[in-house]
Amino acid sequence: MIEVHELSKRYRANQAVDGLSFTVQPGQVTAFIGPNGAGKSTTFRILLGLDRPNSGHALIDNKPYCELERPVLRVGALLDANAAHPGRSARNHLLCIAQAAEIDSKRVTAVLELTGLGEAGNRRVGGYSLGMRQRLGIAAALLGDPAVLLLDEPVNGLDPEGVRWIRRLLRQLADEGRTVFVSSHLMSELQLVADHLIVIGRGRLIADTPLSEFTAGGRSLEDAYLELTADATQYRTERTN
Amino acid sequence: MLRSEWTKLRSIRSTPLTLTAAFAVAVLGGLFSATGRAKDYPSWSAVDKAAFDPVNLSFDGLAFAQLAFGVIGVLAISSEYTTGQIRTTFAVTPRRRQVLLGKACVLGAVALVCGELLSLVSFVVAQLGLRSIHVDVSLSDHAALRAVAGAGVYLTALTLLGLGLGALIRHTAGAVSAIFGLVFVVPLVAANLKDWITWPSNWNLWTAGNALISTRPPVDGAPSPSMGLVICVLYALVPLALAMVLIDRRDA
């Protein structure tokens, strides 16, 4: 279970997260959505102990991430597709993680096969397409077979086969009783896979609700989302219609 | 942790490439100095001949090879910050000091082995070049042995200095510039200031390294070999210690 309580984080003049509270339950896919700059990635970074909050706390299984024993076995994370050294092969990238986390190196081959990188595993990550780097990030998240998954925009850059694959993967992981917390901007995709929604804007919570309630009355998730976040969108394009 | 850091170091192409370049530059540099000196030597005055240090000469190529060692130290951590790898690293090992300590152990060991090997090869090759004028020294000369060992220690200190600066500055270009400044610019400035203040020229990294690799007694208040060792160790450990303190406080 993930528990965020009164979380605030300021980067110089920018209040990225502002008194944010929510919980994420196991056994379902929880979508984390909000406009660009809403504070989703910041929340992920704080959850993983990479950034320190100014106030509040973010707990996983009742503990701050930094206090978890062997965190890779409890929490798998995809932060962004570029969190790998481009000069290293995918296999060596995963091997470094496995060795630091004391995971059997057989798992490296297993997650490479699982994410469809089996044949490309010995190639350098710098030569990968965005979709392949996403697959590598997902492979790294699954390496420790964790009960909690934090995936920041995992669908970006994936080909249609990959999109369908990750949709099924998320469903399967949730059905196995894991906590699956996914951010994305692809509303049509989330409508197919999410059970629960956490919507934020300007660092604050806007909605925390089951998908079925959010889209009640036959509205699409996209319509409901745009209506709800209209006031919280900071970076907006001109209306073209 | 150590195994993971070792895998990281060896799985990047720049590590063996940089080390190979360092070997080539160091050994050839020493050899060219030796053959050049062997040609001029007969025409030197007796005073010059007496002051000639055939051991120190073996390490003439080190002036450039040392940069390669510093760069390997810098890259071991700065490349993680510039590529985003650091977020993976710190998520896997939230106790960040362990990461830095692991890197220091692995880098220190690799640099010591490669540095000692490099200084030994440079020494042997350069002494072959000096054979024609019969001033070549063998390793059984205890000062020569100390100088060869000292050159390897100096390169190790530079590698750890690179790691410390890389961890503090977190940008490759910035940290490499800092190394460059400490190794090349500071000694130059210090030498110009010598008439007014002497401590910068006696306490800079290059003077310390020179003290380690010389077999002639120090002149002009330059540090002794053991003082040189102390200075090198300080240069290696102070930035690293500072990085240890800061690494937990900063956002990744």
- Digit-coded pLDDT (tens) for B28-41: 999 999 999 888 88
What pLDDT score was predicted for residue B201? 84
Query: ipTM score here?
Result: 0.92
Work out the minimum CA distance from B2 to partner chain A, whole angstroms.
Answer: 8
Q: Where residue A149 falls among pLDDT bands split at 50, 70, 90?
A: very high
Residue B103: name the closest of B214, B17, B217, B9 by CA.
B9
- A79:B8 CB<8 A: no
- Specify whether A127 is located in the same domain as A221: no
Q: How far apart are CA A214 and CA A211, in angstroms?
A: 5
- Specify whether A2 is located in the same domain as A70: yes
- Specify whether A164 is located in the same domain as A54: yes
- Specify whether A126 is located in the same domain as A95: yes
Q: By a Cβ cutoff of 8 Å, what residues of chain B touch chain A?
A: 1, 3-4, 7-8, 11-14, 79-80, 83-85, 87-95, 249, 251-252
Residue A100 lies in a domain: yes
Does B49 have pLDDT greater than 60? Answer: yes
Does A240 have pLDDT greater than 70? Answer: no
Per the listing, tokens 């700059």 go with A37
Per the listing, tokens 């910068």 go with B200
- Digit-coded pLDDT (tens) for A195-225: 999 999 999 999 999 999 999 888 899 999 9
Q: Determine how many CB atoms are found less than 10 A away from the CB of residue B69.
A: 30
- A96:B8 CB<8 A: yes
Q: How many domains is chain A built from?
A: 2
Work out the minimum CA distance from A78 to partner chain B, whole angstroms.
Answer: 9
Amino acid making up residue A167 = R
Q: How far apart are CA A144 and CA A73, in angstroms?
A: 4
- Specify whether A192 is located in the same domain as A161: yes
- Specify whether A176 is located in the same domain as A198: yes
SS (H, E, C) B65-116: HHHHHHHHHHHHHHHHHHHCHHHHHHHHCCCHHHHHHHHHHHHHHHHHHHHH
- Specify whether A153 is located in the same domain as A229: yes
- Digit-coded pLDDT (tens) for A96-136: 999 999 999 999 999 999 999 999 999 999 999 999 999 99
Average pLDDT, chain A: 94
Domain of A115 in residue numbering reads as 86-145
- Specify whether A139 is located in the same domain as A177: no
Does B141 have pLDDT greater than 90? Answer: no
Residue A79 lies in a domain: no
Residue A155 lies in a domain: yes
Give A203's Cβ-side CA count (13 Å radius). 14
- Specify whether A196 is located in the same domain as A213: yes
Instruction: Give B85's contacts in chain A (Cβ within 8 Å).
Output: 83-85
User: CA A114, A172, A141: angle at the middle one, nearest 5?
Assistant: 50
Do A76 and A144 touch, CB atoms closer than 8 A? yes
CB pairs under 8 A between A and B: 82
CATH number at A203 reads 3.40.50.300
User: Domain boundaries in chain B?
Assistant: 2-247
- Specify whether A157 is located in the same domain as A132: no
What pLDDT score was predicted for residue A165? 95
Q: How far apart are CA A116 and CA B33, in angstroms?
A: 56
- Specify whether A157 is located in the same domain as A58: yes
Q: Name which of A86-100, A126-140, B58-72, B210-224 the model is least confident about.
A: B210-224
What pLDDT score was predicted for residue B42? 87
Q: Which of A66, A80, A88 sits opposite B12 (nearest CB)?
A: A88
Q: Where residue A180 falls among pLDDT bands split at 50, 70, 90?
A: very high
